[in-house]
Amino acid sequence: MGRLQAFSERHWRRIGCAAGLLAAALAASGCSSGLGSADSSPFGGGVFNMFSGGSAAAPATAIAGPQFDDNDCPVADIRAGASTLAVATPQVQQPTANDVRYQLSFNRLARQCIAAGGALTIKLGVQGRAVLGPAGSPGPVSVPLRYAVVQEGIEPKTIATKFKRISVDIPPGQGNVPFEDVDDSMNFPIPPLADLQSYVIYVGFDDAGDKAEKKPPAKKPAAKSAQRKK
């Protein structure tokens, strides 16, 4: 079995319950429970199983130069300042804790590298939780996720990035629900292994991600075929 085919527990990065406007609610919901193993996870091992199955994870392949293996895969981390997201009532200019509709936080994340044909594909899995706030109500919750691969250094360089929104539904009578996502759309040419050591895979909430996405340039009005003769 290939190194990447068996996606073991050590690939998961456990994330402690983050402090925030709803810290007490998160603690009451058992945010830190069930993180010891995939079987005891409140998520039912959904994301974990998607990584562990042989059909979902291809082994790394040989590349020019040194053999690429799991130890070469960049580490995954939560972007500073983007580990939680509190969404307040839109009409409130300066929201307080009582104006929070729901708060999002991460519990676990995982990463996997798949090397093939001179390109590296990053497969990323996240698990988190949505907690209703005082101003919230049952129903769909939008989770804005930003994934990025960054080459850290004096001048950090973004190698690949992906923004997406997923939806999770909080049913009546339930104050919090888990969410999960797996993404394997980040792909880039394999750099020299010396450079790859400075790469970091970041995950974070990005509520402004829709606006930050590059929009196609506006089409310029068609030039006049010929100017009017004087």
Tens-place pLDDT, residues 102-155: 999 999 999 999 888 889 999 999 999 999 999 889 999 999 999 999 999 999
Identify whether 226 is part of a domain.
no
Please give the tally of structural domains in the chain: 1
Structural domain span for residue 74: 9-209
Identify whether 229 is part of a domain.
no
Between CA 7 and CA 125 the distance in angstroms is: 11
Q: How confident is the model at residue 169 (pLDDT cuts 50, 70, 90)?
A: very high
Distances (CA, A) of 125 to 104, 108, 201: 16, 8, 11
User: Do residues 83 and 19 make contact, with C-beta atoms less than 8 angstroms apart?
Assistant: no
Identify whether 100 is part of a domain.
yes
This model's pTM is above 0.85? no
Task: Extract the tokens encoding 132.
Answer: 């209703």
Identify whether 195 is part of a domain.
yes
Whether the predicted pLDDT of 159 surpasses 50: yes
Identify whether 228 is part of a domain.
no
Identify whether 37 is part of a domain.
yes
Contacts of 163 (CB under 8 A, 6+ apart): 144, 145, 146, 147, 206, 209, 210, 212, 213
Best CA proximity match to 50, nearest among 111, 128, 107: 111
Identify whether 128 is part of a domain.
yes
Identify whether 45 is part of a domain.
yes
Residue 32 confidence (pLDDT) = 35
